[in-house]
Amino acid sequence: MHLASEPNREALQDLPSHDEDWLIVAGDIAEKFEHVRLAFETLTRKFAKVFWVPGNHDLWAIPDRNDGPALAGEARYRALVDCARDYGVLTPEDPFETWEGSGGPLVIAPLFLLYDYSFRPDHIGRDEVVDWAREEGAVCADELFLNHAPFESREDWCARRCEETERRLEEIPDGLPTILVNHYPLRRDLIHIPRAPRFTPWCGTRRTEDWHRRFNARVVISGHLHTRRTDWRDGSRFEEVSLGYPRQWDQNKGMAHYLRDVLPE
């Protein structure tokens, strides 16, 4: 949603109410807590239930005059979760909800998995990957703003999140289909960024490439790439749902134009 941009904030206010619908927000609301709170307050008035997963922009530790010293790393994530819960928004730390309406039942699983730089060519080592990406102009501001404290690295944080999340997903009753929601795509072959083809190292982890099969996903939702599209793998539908920066969507159509029906299919 990138609410640091004023046109996006205006579009949020103009979004019509959908009183009976549930809304999934796949990360990157904003860098500032004031804009995150604006989103939660507005969306919970317009939708019956709201789910959220964090994106990298939400986790950036940028000093903010309105919120004091910037929280970083795990502490920032936990503060965002607390903020979401203040508005009744469901997060990756909450029990999974089951949709019983049209197309259900399905378990909606918000995930927070991060990335570990493994979305790179096999011949490129971890210590080479940032320079390899920079050769073609791909540089991620996460290298400056995404603090991984108290973990030793983003890879360690990612590994911990994947391990904890796997355990929770394995507890879903066999045969019950799911909707998996993560800011980052779960598979490398879903990444299509023509303007920055070497941005892939900041886009996910190979650990999740079979999760749509393992966890019976009917739909997998991501919001990191700013390249809206629908893909199919092994009978699962993958939706990349970014709104993006003002230049990346038609403001004359409004934000409602970019909402997607997950169910019914």
Whole-model pTM: value is 0.95
Tell me the domains of the chain and their CATH numbers: 6-258 (3.60.21.10)
- The pLDDT assigned to 207 comes to 98
- The pLDDT assigned to 70 comes to 84
Residue pLDDT, tens place only, 206-264? 999 999 999 999 999 999 999 999 999 999 999 999 999 999 999 999 999 999 999 87
- The pLDDT assigned to 187 comes to 98
- The pLDDT assigned to 214 comes to 97
**What is the average pLDDT across 10-30?**
97
Longest dimension (CA), the chain: 51
Extended strands (E) in the chain: 18-25, 47-52, 97-99, 106-110, 178-181, 217-222, 229-233, 236-240
Residue pLDDT, tens place only, 40-66? 999 999 999 999 999 999 999 987 666
Alpha-carbon distances of 65 from 5, 33, 68, 69, 234, rounded to whole Å: 18, 11, 5, 8, 48
**What is the average pLDDT across 103-124?**
96
Residue pLDDT, tens place only, 158-191? 999 999 999 999 999 988 999 999 999 999 999 9
Cα–Cα dist 76/222, whole Å = 21
The confidence band for 67, taking pLDDT boundaries of 50, 70 and 90, is low
pLDDT beyond 90 at 69? no
Q: How many helices (H) and strands (E) does the chain have?
A: 8, 8
